[in-house]
Amino acid sequence: DISGSGTVTNRSQILACGRQCADRKNNLFWTFVSPIVTGTLYSDEGTTAITSGNVAISYNGGTITEEVAVDAGGQYSLSGGVMTGGTLVTLFVNGSSDDAVTVVLGSGGSMTGMSLFKDRLILRSESGSVAVTNAHIAVADDKAGDSDDDITNIISAATPSALTVASAKELLVWTGDMFRPGGTIVTHDLDINGTLDYQDNSLGVTGSWDATGGTASGNDVTSFTSTAAETVTSAGNTFNNVTFNG
């Protein structure tokens, strides 16, 4: 209630709401901004919704800013923070046996369709052509230095030089987005719907590889290690150096 408390000298300004702000309609010449993040929690890759559980959000590796329960359709809506282009957003299921994490480079405004898939780490960039890197993930999983097994059950370890996805989990690069790790990757399953540019960094895969609809390129070795039957779908992409163990 800004204008009701005295003379407002900075008219026609934007007031960025940090947490669920409400305009009492007595604020002349001010524009309230509170970005909304919405999406759906799925048990698979976008078909079957999980209809119970809480989705939490943090920004730039900080503490949880807001947490909400999903509705009967698995949908959630969060509005707990201020974003600029490139803000690092971590979405995850909190306090549930259903683990899912999505890491997003934010657009600076509201974002819709921010899906969470059970047992998967989804990487997305809504910040133009900026690629997601291991360094981003190393910040995104931090939660202000408070280790949270709801995140580490998916992201086992992350530094700028190395990303390890937890056992039996999947790393998924979102359609239209790029992951340029800048370091090594170890994961069980790897699903490339966007672009994976691993450059001179090694990849270790203990499960399946699926590049259907995506592209993958790099110069270092890709190692497949498994004692069980797994599927490698290159979808026309070539490996510079590949080894099979198991």
Q: For position 48, what pLDDT does the model report?
A: 98
DSSP result, the chain:
--GGGS--SS-SEEEE-SSS----S--TTEEEE---EEEEEESSSSSSB--S-EEEEEETT-SEEEEEE--TTSEEEE------TT-EEEEEEESSSS--EEEEE--SS-B----EETTEEEEEE-STTPPB-HHHHHHHT-STT---HHHHTTEEEEETTEEEEPTT-EEEEPTT-EE--SSEEEESEEEESSEEEEET--EEESS-EE-TT-EEEESSEEEEE-SS---EE-TT---SEEEEE-
Amino acid 7: pLDDT: 41
pLDDT value of residue 27: 59
pLDDT at 28: 57
- Kindly report, residue by residue over 16-41, the tens digit of the pLDDT: 554 445 555 565 555 555 678 999 99
The predicted model scores a pTM of 0.87
Q: Which segments in the chain show pLDDT lower than 50? A: 1-14, 18-20
